[in-house]
Amino acid sequence: MQLDLDERVNEELIRAKENNRLMHAYLFYGGDNKTMLDEALVFACNLYCGCLNCDTCKSILEQKHLNVKVISLEENKTMITKEQISNLEAEFSLTSLVSGPRVYIIDGIDTASSAAQNSLLKFIEEPQMQDEVYGILIAYNLNNVLTTIKSRCGLMRFMPKSFEQIKEDLENDYDADDAFILASLSNNRIVCSNIFNDSNYQIIKNLVYDFLNIVDSKEAILFYLNNKNITKDNLQAFLKVLINFYHEALTLTKLISSQIYDKITLLKQNKDKSDIYQKLTYLLNLDTKLKYNVVEKNILHELILTFF
C-alpha cells in the first residue's frame, strides 16, 4: 500500500507519543485528502505497533480494525450528518471487543453542519468510555470548522502539494490530459473525482481543447460567439487550466505525449519565454477581474482580443 505522508507532521506526532504528550484530538488541515487520511491511519498504527506491515497495522490501514472508526461523506451526500456523529458516539459508548486505544477519524469535518459539529464537541471533551480514545478531524476548509472545535484540538497544518505532485498522483487514475485539467482545479482527489463525473467537466475540457486549437482570428471570433454565454464557474475553471498551461510552458522539462502537452511543446518551440510570461500575466489579470465580478462575456472577449 503506497502511503502519502507529511514527514514533519508524522515526526511531530511520533515525538508526542514518545514523550507521553499526545492530545485527545487533532485537527488536520492544509493538505490533500489522501495525505491527511493516510497520516491519520498511520497515527492509529503508531498507537499499536507502527511497523505498518503486521496484521494489526494492515487492518488499520485497510480501515478494518474494530477500534479505528473512519467517518467520511456518504455516497450522494454533500455533508457529514448529525446522524453519523450520533452513531459514532453510540458505537464508542459500548465496550470494544478488542483491547487497545480507540481512534475515530472524521474525514471532512468542515462539511458537517453546525448541529453535527456541536454534537461532536461534547464527545471530544468527554468521551463516554473508559478506554484510551483519540480523535483525528480532517478539514479542507478550516474556516468551516467551529471555533470551539478548533480550540479543543491540536492543530496540525500540512504542506499543500504542488500542481506537479497532484498531477502525478492523478495520472495513476486518469490520462495525462484529464490529470492536468483536474490538478488545475483541485488538490483534493475526492473533489477531482466529483469534478470528473460532473456534466460540466466535459464542457470545461472542450473549452480548453477548442481554445488551444485556434489558429487565426476568424476561429477566435467563432470561439467567442460559441461560448459568450459561459457560466462564471466554467470560465473560472477554464482560466485556471490555461494559467497552468502557460506556467508549464515556462517550466516543463519532461516530455509527455498528449493533446495538451503536445500544445505546450509546440508553444515552447515557437514562442520565447518573454511572450509566454506576458500571456501568463494576462491570464492572471483576467482571473483577478473575474473574481471582482467583471461580466463573464467581457472577460472572454478580452481574452480573445489579447491572445489573437
Taken in order of first residue, the domains within the chain and their CATH numbers are 7-157 (3.40.50.300), 163-307 (no CATH)
Mean pLDDT of the residues in the chain: 91
* pLDDT, tens digit (0-9, with 9 covering 90-100), for 245-271: 999 999 887 778 899 999 999 998 889
What average pLDDT score do residues 79-100 get?
90
Q: Is the distance from CB of 223 to CB of 233 less than 8 angstroms?
A: no
Q: What percent of the chain has pLDDT over 90?
A: 72
Query: What is the predicted pLDDT for the residue at 160?
Result: 81
Question: For residue 128, what pLDDT band results from cuts at 50, 70 and 90?
Answer: low
Query: Which residue spans within the chain are E strands per DSSP?
Result: 25-29, 68-71, 102-107, 133-139, 154-157
The pTM assigned to this predicted structure is: 0.70
Query: What is the predicted pLDDT for the residue at 165?
Result: 87
Q: Angle of helix 114-125 relative to helix 82-92, nearest 10 degrees?
A: 20
Residue 66 has pLDDT above 70, yes or no: yes
Question: For residue 133, what pLDDT band results from cuts at 50, 70 and 90?
Answer: very high
